[in-house]
């Protein structure tokens, strides 16, 4: 039976409007974005299949938002999901930039997680701040494989000077989902902090993004 023939209280779109997004499963939320299913599968069944094949929501979003389309998603359906992801990121970015200042480096965690958590490859990015810890910009600086990204201190210094930053928060993701800082993470953070000290830029934190809450290296005493 097609979803449009279901009782109104069971249809994903109606449930969303009546009870909010939290009342829907991942597959139902995907069904709303997909708009329709494919021959032999309604939108919810298609959503479940995509989640199962990808290995979860984060993996599916990384596949959809990456350069290669996910199997089972045509251009129109893929575009809807990519647009929803980008709207979420922009909303978080607006909230971040509207703050008079960051009271804690962890205030940026939601935005940085939205930018990096779902990616299937490792990315190193930098959040640039002024002397009152107001957000100037966020920029992806280096991209690597799941084995790690090559981070070049000279390029980081150059980027900070270009943005006229007085302080920075680094962030990178672990595609494995395990957010524990590695020995290499600690080493490059020390190297970057020493390089930026020479130009008067403070390193406030380095967030490691995985599943769950980002790990703050500042809170771990690793800066």
Count of beta carbons in the 10 Å neighbourhood of residue 20: 9
CA atoms within 13 A on the CB side of 96: 26
Number of H helices, E strands in the chain: 8, 5
Say if CB 193 and CB 203 are below 8 A apart. Answer: yes
Q: Are strands 202-209 and 215-216 parallel, antiparallel or unpaired?
A: antiparallel
β-bridge partners, 38: 41
- Convert the pLDDT of each residue in 150-207 to its tens digit: 889 999 999 999 999 999 999 999 988 888 998 889 999 999 999 999 999 999 999 9
What pLDDT, in 10s, does the model give residues 103-153?
Answer: 776 778 888 888 888 788 899 999 999 999 988 999 999 988 645 568 899
Q: Where are the beta strands (DSSP E) in 79-166?
A: 123-129, 135-143
Q: Are 122 and 149 a contacting pair, CB within 8 Å?
A: yes
Residue 65, SS3 per DSSP: helix
Identify the DSSP state of 141.
E
- Write out pLDDT tens, residues 196-215: 999 999 999 999 998 888 99
Half-sphere exposure for 65 (CA within 13 Å, toward CB): 22
Residue appearing with tokens 């094949």: 53
Overall pTM > 0.75: no
């Amino acid at each position: 039976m097609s979803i449009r023939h279901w009782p109104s209280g069971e249809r994903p779109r109606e449930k969303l409007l009546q009870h909010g997004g939290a009342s829907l499963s991942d597959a139902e939320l995907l069904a709303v974005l997909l708009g329709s299913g494919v021959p032999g599968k309604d939108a919810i069944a298609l959503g479940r299949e995509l989640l199962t094949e990808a290995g979860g929501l984060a993996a599916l979003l990384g596949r959809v938002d990456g350069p290669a389309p996910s199997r089972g998603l045509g251009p129109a359906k893929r575009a809807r999901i990519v647009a929803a992801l980008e709207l979420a990121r922009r909303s978080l970015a607006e909230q971040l930039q509207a703050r008079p200042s960051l009271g804690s480096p962890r205030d940026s965690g939601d935005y940085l997680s939205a930018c990096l958590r779902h990616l299937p490859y490792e990315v190193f990015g930098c959040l640039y701040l002024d002397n009152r810890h107001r957000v100037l910009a966020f920029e992806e600086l280096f991209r690597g494989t799941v084995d790690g990204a090559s981070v070049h201190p000279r390029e980081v210094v150059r980027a900070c000077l270009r943005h006229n930053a007085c302080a920075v928060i680094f962030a990178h993701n672990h595609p494995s989902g395990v957010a524990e800082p590695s020995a290499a993470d600690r080493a490059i953070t020390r190297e970057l902090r020493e390089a930026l000290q020479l130009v008067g830029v403070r390193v406030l934190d380095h967030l490691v993004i995985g599943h769950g809450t980002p790990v703050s290296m500042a809170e771990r005493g690793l800066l």
